[in-house]
Every structure is written in structure tokens, then in C-alpha cells.
């Protein structure tokens, strides 16, 4: 009898330990993410690249909804300009068959078919297509299943299966709808009310036809003018960052609205002092080029550092330990410990 009484507390302790090991959020998420803790540093900016490209087709409303569900602090996205002057969200300068195809209902004005080998790439440039034509494409294909094995076009609660190319104004309206939706938690709604937008102008100095608005590199083009007008119309200047590899696009944005923060993207060597003096708030390098010395120099210049595009939890942890101010990732679930 005494032996049985002694064993009962021991058994209860062992059972409690087993339950703790299996507790949600304490085990699988952190082990899979590889991060040393679930809490990121105070003020850390978790940016969902193209929404959440590792989980949903990129730059679509379901990708942005997924990123919001996970609790990103910033939605990262890309902008182009249509032939009729609309600002739309897409990364590539042209429609490609590995991502998009014509939907079931094709109407006039009929867009070119990306699957037709006779279709020229130039005719598929977003700058050559009207908004009405772009809306006839469905873009729910995974261009790289080996790289993004968890990407699924399975729809979401609010956006459902809207895998079309949308305008920047459509995203602003969608996030507002999300922030008021009874289908989301109070924490999700509150996060949507303050989430930031990191929007990239997809100018290419070697291919001006990608935007095709006559930009001279000195004065704001219609592209930048339209973006600034949309930000002002929606009252989002304090929540928007404009980023670009074409830094001249950033500097002309400053002439349109000096309160908008600017992020200089780089893929190689960076002139940090020049970028800071020109008005950049952020430096976003290819994470593979970032060193502790460069991070320290950027901080000395007053630049916040947010590398792209970091998908391996080991790299995430290394860069967090290094002291970066945020990360751009296709897998915000891994960064936020919610996979």
C-alpha cells in the first residue's frame, strides 16, 4: 500500500511531462522552424514576400490573406503599370505560362494566350495589356514545386479562389475588409489595421518597356505619380514603404511625398552612405551578401537592414542573432513559428 502511494506522484509527474512535450506551440512549431524561441526581437519586421509565396501563389489575394492570418507585420509586393495606366500587383514584366493561363471565359478585348508558342513575349508585357485583359488570366500555378513544395492554390476564407492579378487599390480595400471581418480573430483584425505595405516599383534600367511610361530617371514618371496618388487617396503614407532596385525611382518618389519611407534593394555591393544621404530609410540586401561588418556600417549610417529572401530557419536565426531589423521571407509561418 505504501509503495503504491509513493508511485502515484511519480506517475502523475511523468504524465504531466508527456503532455507538456505535446503541447501546441511548445513543440512541433518551434522544432520545425528551427528558431531558438517563438518571440522575435521587439520591433522586428516580419515581411511576407509576395504575400506568402511559399504557401500560396504569389502576389494574389489568397497569398496576402494567408500572410495576414499568420501575423506578418508587413505585406511585401511588386507593382507594374498597365497599358491603360492602372497600378497592378505582379512581379514579372510579362505573363508567363508557368504561372498564368487564360480563364474559362475569354471575352473582348481578348488577351494573348501565354500557352500559344506563336505569342510574342512583348505582347505579354503587363505594360502592353489593359486591366480588362489582365483580369482574364488565372495565376494559380506553382512555377517551382521543388522550391515551393508547400504552395497550394486551395483558396482562403475571404479571398476564396481569386487568383487573378489585382490592383494596388484592390489590396488596400481587401485589407480594410479583413480588418473588419467577423471571420478573423480580434488579434488578426487589429494586426490588419496596422500592417505595413512594402511595395516595389519594378523598373528595369535595361528594359524601360517593362513600365513603358517615358521615365527619364530625373523626374517622377506616371508610374510613381499614380502610386503616390493611391497612397495619398487611401491615407496610408505612414504605413507604406517603397522599395526598388532602380534607386532613381525611389529618389523621385521622395519629391512626390517626402514622408514615404524608402528601401534601397541591392543584390551586390552597396554604397550605403550614398543611399542614406539620398533619403533611404532601409537597406534590403540579398541575405547571402550581408556580413556583420556591413550590418554595423548600415546602422552607423542610420539605415535599418531588412534582407531578402530568407526561407531557411537556420539562416533566419543567424541573421536575427546578427541583429537585422527584419526579414523578407516566402515562409512567414516558419519565421513566426506557426507552421
- pLDDT tens-digit readout, 109-145: 999 999 999 999 999 999 999 999 999 999 999 999 9
Count of the separate structural domains present in the chain: 1
Residue 282 lies in a domain: yes
pLDDT-based confidence at residue 39 (cuts at 50, 70, 90): confident
Structure letter (DSSP) for residue 268: S
Residue 26 lies in a domain: no
Give the tens place of pLDDT for each residue, 250-268.
999 999 999 999 999 999 9
> How many angstroms from the chain centroid is the CA of residue 48?
4
Q: Is pLDDT above 80 for 21?
A: no
Cα-flanking dihedrals φ and ψ of residue 19, to 5°? -65, -40
CATH code of the domain containing 284: 3.20.20.190
Q: What is the pLDDT of residue 30?
A: 36
Q: What is the pLDDT of residue 338?
A: 81
Residue 32 lies in a domain: no
CA distances from 276 to 251, 281, 283, 292 (A): 11, 7, 9, 18
> Using CA atoms, how far apart are residues 51 and 68, in angstroms rounded to an integer?
8
Residue 206 lies in a domain: yes
Residue 179 lies in a domain: yes
Burial 311-327 (b: 16+ CB within 10 A, else e): bebebbbebbeeebbbb
Summarize the confidence of residues 2-27 as an average pLDDT: 37
User: Percent of the chain having pLDDT more than 90?
Assistant: 87
> Using CA atoms, how far apart are residues 314 and 120, in angstroms rounded to an integer?
42
Amino acid at each position: 500500500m505504501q509503495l503504491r502511494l509513493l508511485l502515484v506522484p511519480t506517475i502523475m509527474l511523468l504524465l504531466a511531462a508527456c503532455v507538456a512535450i505535446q503541447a501546441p506551440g511548445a513543440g512541433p512549431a518551434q522544432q520545425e522552424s528551427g528558431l531558438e524561441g517563438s518571440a522575435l526581437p521587439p520591433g522586428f519586421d516580419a515581411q511576407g514576400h509576395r504575400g506568402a509565396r511559399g504557401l500560396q501563389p504569389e502576389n494574389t489575394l489568397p497569398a496576402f490573406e494567408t500572410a495576414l492570418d499568420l501575423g506578418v507585420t508587413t505585406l511585401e509586393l511588386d507593382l507594374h503599370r498597365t497599358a491603360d495606366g492602372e497600378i497592378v500587383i505582379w512581379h514579372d514584366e510579362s505573363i508567363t505560362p508557368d504561372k498564368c493561363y487564360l480563364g474559362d471565359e475569354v471575352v473582348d478585348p481578348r488577351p494573348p494566350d501565354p500557352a500559344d508558342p506563336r505569342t510574342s513575349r512583348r505582347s505579354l508585357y503587363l505594360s502592353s495589356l489593359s486591366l480588362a485583359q489582365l483580369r482574364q488570366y488565372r495565376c494559380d500555378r506553382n512555377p517551382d514545386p521543388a522550391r515551393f513544395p508547400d504552395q497550394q492554390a486551395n483558396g482562403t476564407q475571404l479571398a476564396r479562389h481569386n487568383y487573378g492579378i489585382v490592383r494596388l487599390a484592390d489590396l488596400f480595400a481587401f485589407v480594410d475588409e479583413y480588418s473588419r471581418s467577423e471571420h478573423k480573430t480580434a488579434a488578426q483584425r487589429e494586426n490588419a489595421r496596422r500592417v505595413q505595405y512594402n511595395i516595389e516599383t519594378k523598373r528595369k534600367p535595361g528594359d524601360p518597356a517593362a513600365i513603358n511610361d517615358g521615365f527619364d530617371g530625373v523626374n517622377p514618371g506616371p508610374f510613381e505619380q499614380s502610386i503616390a496618388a493611391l497612397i495619398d487617396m487611401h491615407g496610408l503614407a505612414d504605413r507604406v514603404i517603397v522599395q526598388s532596385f532602380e534607386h532613381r525611382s525611389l529618389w523621385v518618389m521622395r519629391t512626390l511625398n517626402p514622408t514615404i519611407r524608402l528601401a534601397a534593394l541591392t543584390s551586390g555591393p552597396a554604397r550605403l552612405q550614398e543611399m542614406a544621404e539620398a533619403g533611404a530609410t532601409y537597406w534590403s540586401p540579398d541575405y547571402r551578401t550581408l556580413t556583420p561588418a556591413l550590418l554595423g556600417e548600415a546602422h552607423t549610417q542610420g539605415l535599418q537592414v531588412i534582407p531578402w529572401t530568407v526561407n531557411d530557419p537556420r539562416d533566419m536565426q543567424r541573421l536575427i542573432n546578427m541583429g537585422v531589423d527584419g526579414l523578407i521571407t516566402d515562409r512567414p509561418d516558419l519565421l513566426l513559428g506557426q507552421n
